[in-house]
Every structure is written in C-alpha cells, then in structure tokens.
Amino acid sequence: MKRIRFIIPVLLLGLSGTCVPAYAPSLTAYASETAAQNQPEENAGESSSDNGTSDEETAETELVPQLLDTDKVSTDDILLYSSACVVMDTQNNAILYSKNRSDRHYPASTTKILTTFLALERTDLSDTITFSEEAVNSINWWDSSNMELEPGDQLTVEQTLYGVMLQSANEAAYGLAEYVSGSVDAFAQDMTDYAISLGCRMTHFTNASGLHDDNHYTTAKDLALIASAAAQNEDFRTITGTINYSVENINYKAMTPETEESQEGDHSTGNEAASESTQTTPELVPEPFPLYNHHKMVNNEYPYEGCYGGKTGYTEEARNTLVTYARRGDIDLVCVVMDCPGGGNYIYDDTALALDYCFENYERLLEEYNEAQALLDYPDMALMDWYHPEITPLSAQEGYYPYLKESMAVYTQYLENQASQEALDEAIEDKSLEAFMEYSRMNQYRPLIIVCVILFVVLVALSLVLIYIARRFKRRRRRRRYEAMKRQRLTENQKEADNQKENEP
C-alpha cells in the first residue's frame, strides 16, 4: 500500500512534465494573437505584422473583395474590400468614383484633418499652447496615440499640428481644441458647423481626436469634402506630406550616457568611498521627441506615384479608415476609404485601385459627372418623370442618382421632353397644326396622353350635358303629366257638377 501511494505522485509528476511543454506553444500563440488584436489606434492594420508570418502565409488567408446587392457604386469595374469610398477632384469637388458614399461611418483619427485645418484657419503657427491637466489626462495612455505630454507643457501651434497629424496624438488634439475654442465641446461644435458650411449634410463631431463616440460620425462624401477643402491650405499640405519631424521644445527627457569615470567606479571593488567619489550621477536633459508619418503611401512603405499626403485612422468600431492625396500632372485627387477590414494592406490596395481607375479615366469620369450634375438644375424633372418616380433631387444630391446605370439615358430623355414641351408651347401659341405635328413627332407618348385627357374632359362634359338634358325632359314630362291630371280632374268635377244640376228638381 505504501508503494502505491509513492508511485501515484511520481506518475502524476511525469505526466505533468510531458503535458506542460506541449501546451506552452499554444499559450504563446494565444498571447501573440491577443496582443495583435489589441493594438492601439493608428497601429492596428497599419504597421507590419509582428508575429513573424511571411507575405506568402498571409496571402493564403486573404479576403476576396465582393460587390453586395445593397452597395451603391458609380461603376462595377473595380471591387473594393472597404464598405465606402469616394475619389474627389480637389480642384472642383467632382466625385469621380463612389461606393456607398452617403452611408454613415465613424471617421476615427481622420477627424484630425478637420482639427488641423480649422486650427490653421483660426491661429498662427507661432502661437504657444499650454496643455492643461484635463487635456492631457482625458485619454487612456495605454491604448491611445500620444506624445507623452504632461500638464503645463508648452508647444507652438506648428509643433502641435505635426504631433496631431503625424503622431496622431490625442492629447495634443484636445489641447489644440481648448486653445482654439476654449473647450473640446465648443471646438467639436465649431467643427460640425464648419463641415456644414463646406456642404457636409450627414456629419456630426463630438471631439477633436476621433476617439469613438456613437454621435461622432460622417460619410465618405462629407469626409472627402473636408479633405478637399483642407488641401487648399499650403501649410496643411506641408504638414500632411512630412515623413519625419522632431519636436525640439518638449519636456521629454532622457539620461545622458555614462562617462568613463562612472564606468570605472561601477567596476571598482576597493574602497567604497573612493568608488562613490569617482561615480557621476546621470542627468536628465531635454531630448527631441521624434514624430513619424504612419501613412504607408507617404512614408514609402507602400509606394504610390504622386502621393503627397494623407491621414490614417483606426478604432475597433470604425475599423481602418484612410485619406490619401495624390497628384499627377494637373490632376489633383483625394481618396477616402472607410470601414476597411484589417490585416494585410487591404486599405492601401483599395486606395491604389480607386485612384488608378480615376487617373486613367479622368476625362470621361469628369464629363459624366458634370452632365449628371446638370440634373440638379432641373428639380421639376424629378416630379414630372413618370418613368422614374424614385428619382428626386434629394436622392441625386445624396449620391443614389445620377450614378444609376440608366442615369444618362434618363437625362437624355429629359432633354428631349424639354424640347418637345417647347414645341407644344409654340403650337398652342401659334395655333399651328404643323407645330403640333412636330411636337407629336418628338414625343410620341405625350400627345396620346394629352388626347386622352381631352377626350376624358369631353366625355365628362358630355355626360354632364346629357344628365342635364335628361333632367329637363324628366321635369317636362312630370309637368305635362301633372297638367293632364289637373285637366282631367277639372273635367270630371265639371261633369259631376253638371250631373248634380240635372238631377235637381
């Protein structure tokens, strides 16, 4: 019995020693996966993979872009991974390509484009900002992009803007908001009002950073309008296209290298007093804080011809969001991609594909856009078009039209109807049969409708006339019958009176 009690613990120890090494790799893999999923904003989906997987291994699990039945696209020539996209010409705000451009999404850190643009409009680059405790401590330092600022730190507006756009520093954005408008809430309201003035109709901001809030949203079209307006500012173009920048005047400190005397003191084993006398205490001295542009097309991790700036964005709710500026020759475009899955370079692949399509087909797309926009000059057409009752000026403005496939055919038909209406007006004015025949030749349906309406009116009028005549005849018959009955009654009364006279003695 004693031997059995001794053997059982030994066997248990042996089994545990065998299982633990086998289980350890799975624990390590789980930890790596968890760390990858919990990447902070501006890192997840943007930096290269840290788990050691090769591009070939990643390619085996790549997503396939699909076009859903509910997607509203200007063309199905290209397929994107992202839920929404707009490519806009920054010189005239012409939308050359769109996918679900009016669907609501969260902008994440691309919000900082308007934060920077609004600050540039209302401050000087040389102004000094003192960061408050509320601005610095209003973020979660462990999972939020920051510049390691401390309450009381001072930066110029220019340094702060580089921190906002390159480092995507959230506490810098809040400090900037307080400096411009007095508070973050007031600045957010200013942002919303400014977006509305740019033509944004489905945008609302609640903060200056883009950290998630259910009431902080925009659309690909509205964000493109904001980005296009910002591109007109030279200082903004300079900031968004900068790859590296160092903030010199920041309260960021590092230890000075150890001197030879301190190294000798560290290794001496003799008299402790002598050792202390030879050591020097390391000093903390100011050191530049490096800023690095996270946009891969800007920093050339994902090279793209003509790219001169942009802004990244990521939150769990928004997923990956990207704004990219590119110029080739005289064509200056901005591409907005929203709600893109993470992993690989899906968001950059989408951006490159959309921009390439618009650069290659620029003249045709611009001409189609201008022709389609002419529909907005004729709001009555949407009310008079019996063949397409779903087309309204509002739907045209929000992007569901004129980007329907039959849009240009409808527009052509409208112009023909307009010409035929002029011909009809001329026929009515001149009382000309030839002009009416010309109108009939131009529009074979409307004359038929007009004739049907005229016939209907004539039939109604005839019916009323017939009813009136019938009633008149009926009244006459009643009157005649009444008069006949009256005469008959008088005759009978007269005969009865005559009979009474004859019978009297």
String of DSSP letters for 14-25: HHHHHHHHHHHH
- Whole-number Å distance between alpha carbons of 379 and 227: 29
Burial class, 74, CB count within 10 angstroms (exposed 0-12 / middle 13-18 / buried 19+):
buried
Q: What share of the chain has pLDDT > 90, as a percent? A: 45
Cis amide bond preceding 25, omega within 30 = no
- Whole-number Å distance between alpha carbons of 274 and 138: 49
199 has a pLDDT exceeding 80: yes
pLDDT band for 476, please (50, 70, 90 cuts): confident
Which tens digit of pLDDT belongs to each residue from 4-38?
444 555 455 554 444 444 434 333 333 333 333 33
Work out the number of other CB atoms within 10 angstroms of the CB of residue 201: 14
pTM over 0.85: no
List, in order, residues 6 or more apart from 110 with CB less than 8 Å away.
210, 223, 227, 311, 312, 313, 321, 322, 323, 336
Q: In 3-state terms, what secondary structure has residue 94?
A: coil
For 92, the token pair is 């005239």
Which tens digit of pLDDT belongs to each residue from 127-170?
999 999 999 988 887 778 888 888 998 999 999 999 999 999 99
In this predicted model, which residue has the larger pLDDT, 254 or 89?
Answer: 89
> Averaged over 40-47, what is the pLDDT?
38
For 498, the token pair is 């005559």
For residue 7, the Cα-to-chain-centroid distance in whole angstroms is 69
pLDDT of residue 504: 72
pLDDT of residue 447: 62
Closest CA to 223 of 378, 130, 85: 85
> Averaged over 108-113, what is the pLDDT?
96
pLDDT, the chain, mean: 76
For 326, the token pair is 């590119």
Which strands sit side by side in the sheet containing 95-99, from one edge to the other?
95-99, 84-89, 331-340, 319-328, 307-315
What letter would DSSP give residue 337?
E
Which tens digit of pLDDT belongs to each residue from 49-58?
333 333 433 4
- Whole-number Å distance between alpha carbons of 112 and 221: 17
Contact between 153 and 250 (Cβ < 8 Å): yes
In this predicted model, which residue has the larger pLDDT, 439 or 168?
Answer: 168
Q: In 3-state terms, what secondary structure has residue 251?
A: coil
Angle formed by the axes of helices 170-181 and 112-122, to 10°? 40
- Whole-number Å distance between alpha carbons of 71 and 78: 13
φ and ψ at 50, to 5 degrees?
A: -105, 0
- Whole-number Å distance between alpha carbons of 294 and 322: 11
> Averaged over 271-286, what is the pLDDT?
50
Angle formed by the axes of helices 362-373 and 407-430, to 10°? 40
pLDDT band for 249, please (50, 70, 90 cuts): low
Alpha carbon separation from 15 to 12, 296, 339 (Å, rounded): 5, 50, 49
> Averaged over 258-264, what is the pLDDT?
43
- Whole-number Å distance between alpha carbons of 172 and 160: 6
Alpha carbon separation from 97 to 51, 206, 261, 286 (Å, rounded): 36, 29, 67, 48
List, in order, residues 6 or more apart from 204 with CB less than 8 Å away.
192, 215, 216, 217, 218
Which tens digit of pLDDT belongs to each residue from 398-429?
444 444 444 455 555 555 666 666 666 666 66
pLDDT of residue 64: 86
What letter would DSSP give residue 282?
-
pLDDT of residue 415: 57
pLDDT of residue 285: 61
Work out the number of other CB atoms within 10 angstroms of the CB of residue 177: 26
